[in-house]
Structure 1
Amino acid sequence: EYVLSQTPEMLPVLKEAGVVDSGGQGLIQVIKGCIEGLKGKVVDIDAAVTPSVSGNRAAKTATGAGSTQAADIRFGYCTEFIINAEKPADETTEQELKDYLSTIGDSLVVVADDDIVKIHVHTNDPGLAIQKALTYGSLSRIKIDNMREEHQEKLIKDSERLAAQQKAEEEAKEKKEEPRKKYGFIAVSVGEGLSEIFKGIGADYIIEGGQTMNPSTEDMLEAIEKVHAETVYILPNNKNIILAAEQAKSLSEDTKVYVVPSKTVPQGITALINFAPDLTAEENMEQMSEEMSHVKTAQITYAVRNTSIDGMEIAEGDIMGIGDSGMLAVGKNIEETAMESLRKMVDDESELVTIYYGEDVTEEDAEAFCEKARKEFTSCEFECQNGGQPIYYYMISVE
């Protein structure tokens, strides 16, 4: 954690942004997880089914194993509480409680610390443990869990997962038996409106993702398989996702994959619109990449911390207009910052402006903003679309 705190001093870009190294932060979380595991913290882990075990046999295997485990739970109640001792607790107090609790249960933890004693025990009669503890003082933070019931609930969840997995496998098998179509399209999108737009212009599969939720290479490979096409185009729509898409491309065995290097959603939309079925796969890749290069994008969002970017001082809560290659505008008002960003983007060659408004913007406010922009930029055609995207109040595309 100390080294992590020093990373802004190691990389100027981190210091400028006022953040620590994200990979290092991730490693810290992994280590913390290891520590929690060593401490015995209970985590609900999804049931994993071995691929060689399939269908009903897998369900029966999991259920049978789970039933045996339920029967093996000798003491059914996980009981925890704290004794606020009337007299200072010492080693003698600890030993007395351990001796008694060991006669009614197992998995004992008894820790005396000055005026309190922490108790953890698995028992079939929590009342006996509580009655004994009351002879030493008052109780607080009492927590009693029925482990058999929790185990049964987990079995039900596991069975539901297995059923869903079996259904997905059957659907995938049926899909494989169908003849593959010539072309397929995968788009990374976030927000119901944007996803519908992508589907409307030809996307076969939408991967939920974005600035705060990047899909993995595995997600990409699964999507490629489900599209079931000879040639698949992936539209990452975020510079941070392009690498995962490229890795999926290299790992795809029987499908020709092209990664269109779209760094924003508007670029991805423009690229997909310009796909031409009569061109070859390579020609389409060139055309889509060429057309999206004429798209300028601004994304209007808020600052989560104080920082300095591109010579602009930004305070937590400020509204930012982020362009393709840097900061366009900073302000206190969403519409004013969006308008200032537009002024930086529109030039004599600009023809079409498309404004996608997010989930935190009402349709009325978005239409009012679009109308105001139409009056200022009279040489451009304007479209206003409901993107429904989180985080970004507006995504603005200028072509």
Structure 2
Amino acid sequence: MDYLKIDGQRFYNMFVSASNDLEEQKGFVNSLNVFPVPDGDTGSNMSMTLKTAVSEIKNMKSESLGNIARQLAKGALMGARGNSGVILSQILRGISKGLEGKSEANSTEIANSINEGAKFAYKAVMRPTEGTILTIIRSAGEAALSSNTNNVTDLLKEVCDYSEAILNKTPEMLPALKKAKVVDSGGKGLLIILQGMYRALRDGIEDVELQDFEEIDTQSQAQNLDQEDIKYGYCTEFFVHSKNADIQAFKDKLSSMGDSMVVVSDEDIIKVHIHTNDPGWILSQAIKLGELSKIKIDNMREEHRHVLGIDNVNNKGLDVNNSTDDINQDGNDIKKYAFITVAMGAGLANMFKDLGVDCIIEGGQTMNPSTQDILSAVENINAEKIFIFPNNKNIFMAAKQASEISQKSLIVVPTKTIPQGITAITTFNSDLSVEENVKSMEEAIKGVITGSVTYAVRDTEIDGKIIKEGDILGLVDGNIKQVGDDIFKVCEDILDGIVSEDSDLISIYCGKDCDHNKIEEFTHKVENKYSDMDVQCYNGEQPLYYFIISVE
């Protein structure tokens, strides 16, 4: 169908259609991961980010285009997962900026908004790499601006056609893509979104409904949770429309009335989430600041009785565990420093707890926590300074985004691996300033070489190595160095390649899929081989990776 202008309803339909399409194709997008390891999650991250954004506008169909775009961008900001999700949230933020204050938009205004999305995306990345999602959104903006049509449907078709042509050229821009014989996964995810928007206009799709989030099996969690464990029974969420509100004073007032509190603001709107036993009192305090909207109160004890599953921080499958008892939310005992880290596996979580980490967000390669998940963890901690250790390069941007949104003082330490996170935390010295500690930790993690052992999920060829599905892969700092059929042999070969005469310490973290009957024998072999070094072996219980190893 032809449209000279689109309104809020049409804009809503376009993005719901795009979100549904991406959800259906996220598995394919995941499969485009350059490395054939079982942690390709670009499609999942982008889909969850967009779904969170669209869920924020599901009751706004009749509102203006500008208002819907603005709320869509806010939803994406809070739900952003992984680097691709964070970049997508910035694209939507730019689009929102381009449509600000508009009740409807013509082809020129839509074109300008897409170009604004490209500008915001590039600003969000310190060192932009061409051949990625950034190239695709920039190409989309260029195609939009160069179009001469006044038909919005035709405009989006031109944008999709040109973006697809550029996507097919990404292997020529990035050698890693060419070697893996794939196009960029983030770029493909964005193209699916653009095509979903176009299809909604072309087919005149009306009253499209957002597909439900994938159900998370939380029944076992509910069965293991006693009714008495639910200290605060009502999950209370709402928005406050207010200008010039004292956010910190408002947060201080609410903090003693519940837990799992998240209060974030953006211009003239405040989003509140809190678990409390008195939602009425919470709302009575909030209404003093301004008009309330989207009020949602869930009885968590009732949900528990119906075995629907409960997560005290969020309901998206991620678990945030407080590991100390002195995190006081009543504001009386404020710690000077606190630590948040991301890890997956009970053994690794226990290690971080033993090192004094206050809060552990369960996540990692295949389950990147969102900006909202990180903010939820932050709001459960009462400290002057909070250090965050992402321990994964794909979580770093979400952590940085959380630090920019939060009212608290957050310091994101650029740890890209679990061993780097452990080394950074053990380097911390409470007698030093924040700046001195950050410098010391960043210097320490430079000396950590991280290896890992996993398996191939598909056939491919990388750097002259022929890889078959099911092969055992040995990686060093993310690069495939060994291919074999025995996890212990591959792990030993990886160690041979990274141990040097300057090395002092070898740390081995065994995964849950590792043959633990052979661990002791393998450890003794490593100790004998590197008798002048300290060899430590831990049961990390991490999924997907038989071993995570480090040499310092």
Do both proteins adopt the same fold according to a TM-score greater than 0.5, normalized to the shorter chain? yes
- The worse-fitting range, judged by mean Cα deviation, of 279-288 and 23-32 is 23-32
Query: Structure 1 residue 274: deviation in Å?
Result: 1.2
Residue in 2 aligned with 1:197?
Answer: 351
Query: Structure 1 residue 368: deviation in Å?
Result: 1.8
Higher share in strand: 1
Change (3 A) 1:340 1:243: same
Question: Percent identity, aligned pairs only?
Answer: 39
Candidates 414, 436, 439, aligned match of 1:283: 436
Candidates 364, 378, 385, aligned match of 2:538: 385
In 2: Cα distance, 1:159 partner to 1:354 partner: 40
The root-mean-square deviation of aligned C-alpha atoms, in Å, is 4.2
Residue in 1 aligned with 2:186?
Answer: 23
In 1: Cα distance, 2:458 partner to 2:385 partner: 43
Is residue 210 of structure 1 aligned with residue 364 of structure 2?
yes
Is residue 228 of structure 1 aligned with residue 382 of structure 2?
yes
- The worse-fitting range, judged by mean Cα deviation, of 187-196 and 241-250 is 241-250
Residue in 1 aligned with 2:404?
Answer: 250
Letter in 2 for 1:268: G
Change (3 A) 1:252 1:162: closer
Contact kept? 1:7, 1:21, Cα under 8 Å: no
Residue in 2 aligned with 1:339?
Answer: 492
Is residue 308 of structure 1 aligned with residue 461 of structure 2?
yes
Change (3 A) 1:303 1:48: farther
Change (3 A) 1:329 1:174: closer
Candidates 177, 192, 211, aligned match of 1:14: 177
TM-score for the superposition, normalised by structure 2: 0.48
Query: Structure 1 residue 43: deviation in Å?
Result: 4.0
Is residue 359 of structure 1 aligned with residue 512 of structure 2?
yes
Contact kept? 1:7, 1:14, Cα under 8 Å: no
In 2: Cα distance, 1:339 partner to 1:293 partner: 22
Residue in 2 aligned with 1:135?
Answer: none
Candidates 317, 330, 335, aligned match of 2:470: 317
In 2: Cα distance, 1:65 partner to 1:201 partner: 37
Is residue 266 of structure 1 aligned with residue 419 of structure 2?
yes
Query: Structure 1 residue 363: deviation in Å?
Result: 2.7
Give the secondary-structure state (helix, strand or coil) at the position aligned to 1:177.
coil
Give the secondary-structure state (helix, strand or coil) at the position aligned to 2:536.
strand
Query: Structure 1 residue 387: deviation in Å?
Result: 0.2
In structure 1, list runs of 5 or more residues that go unmatched: 67-152
Contact kept? 1:345, 1:398, Cα under 8 Å: yes
In 2: Cα distance, 1:40 partner to 1:272 partner: 46
Aligned residues: 307
1:113-134 CA distances to partner (integer Å, 9 max, x unpaired)? xxxxxxxxxxxxxxxxxxxxxx
Change (3 A) 1:388 1:41: same
Give the secondary-structure state (helix, strand or coil) at the position aligned to 2:531.
coil
In 1: Cα distance, 2:304 partner to 2:346 partner: 33
Query: Structure 1 residue 311: deviation in Å?
Result: 3.2
Query: Structure 1 residue 365: deviation in Å?
Result: 1.8
In 2: Cα distance, 1:215 partner to 1:296 partner: 25
Contact kept? 1:18, 1:306, Cα under 8 Å: no
Contact kept? 1:358, 1:392, Cα under 8 Å: yes
Query: Structure 1 residue 385: deviation in Å?
Result: 0.2
Give the secondary-structure state (helix, strand or coil) at the position aligned to 2:532.
coil
In 2: Cα distance, 1:330 partner to 1:45 partner: 34
TM-score for the superposition, normalised by structure 1: 0.65
In structure 2, list runs of 5 or more residues that go unmatched: 1-24, 26-160, 216-234, 241-271, 282-293, 315-319, 321-326
Residue in 2 aligned with 1:375?
Answer: 528
Query: Structure 1 residue 11: deviation in Å?
Result: 4.4
Letter in 2 for 1:381: D
Letter in 1 for 2:464: G
1:280-302 CA distances to partner (integer Å, 9 max, x unpaired)? 11111111111121111101001
Larger Cα-atom Rg? 1
